[in-house]
Chain A
Amino acid sequence: MSAAKHKRIGAEAVEEKGWLRAHKWLILRRISQFSILALFLLGPWFGHWIVKGNLAYSYTLDVLPLTDPYVALQSMVAGHLPETLGLIGLGIVLAFYLLVGGRVYCSWVCPVNIVTDAAGWLRDRIGIKGSSQLGRNTRYWILGMTIVGSAVSGVVLWELINPVSMLHRGLIFGMGMAWTVVLVVFLFDLFVTSRGWCGRLCPVGAFYSLIGRWSPLRISAPKRTACNDCMDCFEVCPEPQVIRAALKGEGKGVGPVILSPNCTNCGRCIDVCSKDVFTFGLRFNNPVSTAQPAVVRTETN
C-alpha cells in the first residue's frame, strides 16, 4: 500500500530488466569510485605505493602525474606556476576530461558523490519533499569568486574549505574534524536542498563542467520516441534540467544527445529507464529526428 503511495524510482526498470541491469551503471560507478579510493589507500594502509598524493595532485607508479586543474588554476592566478611534473599532470587531466566529459570527475571519481548520492537516496526513501530555492548557476558564481578571490588574496582560496579535498585528504592523510564538513554537506542535501551541493554549489563540479563543454562522450536518447513519461530519469538524475531538451526534442528540431555540460555521464537514466531510451554515445551522432517505425510505439503502448 505504501508502495502505491510512493513508487520507488526505477521500480519499473527493475521489473522489466532485472535488478542487475537496472543498476549496471550505478554499480560500475561505485566500483570506479571505490577502486580509485582504494588505490590511494593502498599506500598508507598496506604499504603498497601505487599512487601517492591525493586528488589535488597524484603520482602513479612514479610515471603518471595527475594534477587537478581547478586547484592549479587558483594557484596560477595567485601567481605560482606548477613545476614540470605538475604541468604534465595538468595536461593529462585536461585532455582526459575534455574527451570523456568534465563532470565524469563528479560521478566516477569524486568521493563526495557517494555522500550526496546517499543523501539523495535517503531523501527519496523518507519522502522529503520541497527544497529551498538555490539557482543551479550559483556554483558558477562561486567558481568565479574563488578565481578572483585567489588572485586578490594570493591564497588557493577554495582549498581552505573545499569539502571534496577535505574528505579525500582526510581518508588518506588523517580525517581529523573533516568529517563534520562532510556531514554538513550530507545534511544540507538531505534536508535543505535536493542535490544541493553537487548540483548547485560545488565550484569544483562547475569548473569540470566547463572543461567538458565540448566533450564527445555523451548520454543520448536515441529511442526517445519509446518514452512513456514515467519520469524516473528526471527523478534519479542529479542534474534533471539537462534531460528535457534531448528527451522531448522530437519534432522541435533538437537531437537526442544531451549536450548540457552539466550532465555527469553517470548513466543512472540508462539504468532506471524500463524502455531503454538512453545510451552512451557520441555528440556527433545527433540526428534531429529519431522517430522509430510506428510499430514500436504501438507495441510499447
Chain B
Amino acid sequence: MTEKTPKSGAARRQFIFDSAKMVCGMGMLGLGLGLYAKQSKALPALALRPPGALPEDDFLGACIRCGMCVRDCPYNTLELAKPETPVATGTPFFNARNIPCEMCEDIPCIKACPTGALDHSLTDINKAKMGVAVLIDHETCLNFLGLRCDVCYRVCPVIDKAITLDLVPNARTGRHAMFLPTVHSEHCTGCGKCEKSCVLEEAAIRILPPKLAKGELGKHYRLGWDEKSKAGKSLIDESKMLDLPDRLPEGAVLPGHYDPASGHTEAMRGMPGSEAGAIPSLPPGLGGKP
C-alpha cells in the first residue's frame, strides 16, 4: 500500500469518482423517497386505521404491509391501499361509509398483526380509538330538523354512552322537542357505524381523526363545577362572591330566559303560561289557526 503505482492512483480516483456518483444518485433518490414518505404520513381524514393502530407517524414504520389484518377481519372492513390510493401503499385502512368496524370482542385484526403496528395490548375493543364521530352538519341532520331519525344513536355499539340524545325545545314549532345526537368522545371508538347508517345522501355524522375532531383545553384550565363536586364543597368562600348582573343585550328576547333583575321569565311558545298564541305547525284541522 505504501508504494503507489500510477495505476493504483488512477484506480483510486475512479473509485472515488464512482462512489461520489453513487452517493449523489442515492441522495437524489433518497430525498425523493423521504419527501414522499413525509407526505404519505398525511392520512386523508376519512381513511381510518384498524383498531389499536399506532399514531400515523409510528404506524408507517411498524406496519410491514402484509395484509394479515385484512384477512382476519370477518366483515371485510379493511383493505390494503393500492398505489393510487391517497394512503401509504400497502397499508390497511377502512372507510366507515363503505364498511364500518363491527368491533369484534376478540379483535382478530390485532391478533393477526405480526408487528406492533396494531397495539397488541389493546384487548378491550371499547377502548379503541379509530377516530371520533362528529355530527358535522347541523343543517341537514334530520334530528336537528326536528324529526326523530335517531339512526346513528340506535346503531351505536356504545349506545347512551358514545352517543346520547339531548333534548332541546324546538323553537320553530314551539310544541316539540329536538332530540339532538350528541357524541361523547371519551366513549366513542370511531367504529363508524353511525356514519355508515346515516340516512342522508351524504352522512351528517362522520368519523374524523381525534386530532382533527377534538379541541384541547389549556393544561391549567379547571372547571369550577367539576372541582366543586370533587371537593364536595366550593373551593372559594361563596358568601364573599360578587354576583354580577345577568343581562341580555338590549332588545334581545330569549324564550324561557329568567331575568333576575325583573323576576320575569320570558314566555316560551307552546309551554305552559305562554301567551304566544297559535302554533303554526299545527294544521287547522287539528286546532291550528287557518
- Interface of A toward B, CB cutoff 8 Å: 43, 49, 52-54, 56-59, 65, 67-68, 71-72, 75, 78-83, 85-86, 89, 135, 137-138, 141-142, 144-146, 148-150, 152-161, 165-166, 169-170, 172-178, 180-181
Contact = CB atoms under 8 A, between A and B. Distances in A.
A52 B71 contact: yes
Nearest to A140: B22
Contacts of B66: 53-54, 56-58
27 contacts: A52-B68, A53-B66, A58-B66, A72-B64, A75-B63, A80-B115, A80-B116, A82-B114, A83-B113, A138-B22, A145-B29, A149-B30, A152-B34, A155-B37, A155-B88, A156-B60, A156-B63, A156-B64, A156-B65, A159-B64, A159-B89, A160-B88, A161-B33, A161-B89, A166-B89, A178-B83, A180-B83
Chain B, interface size category, equals 35 or more
Contacts, number: 154
A85 B29 CA distance: 33
Contact of A145 (B26, B68, B88): B26
B33 A154 contact: no
B222 interface: no
Given A86-B114, A166-B83, A166-B89, A53 B67 contact: yes
B175 to A, nearest CB: 54
A182 to B, nearest CB: 10
The 9 closest A-B pairs by CB, nearest first: A176-B82, A78-B61, A86-B114, A57-B66, A80-B62, A155-B37, A145-B26, A177-B84, A155-B60
B202 interface: no
Nearest to A180: B83
Nearest to A175: B82
B60 A59 contact: no
Given A173-B70, A176-B83, A67 B114 contact: yes
B115 A160 contact: no
B41 A155 contact: yes
Contacts of B60: 154-156
A53 B58 contact: no
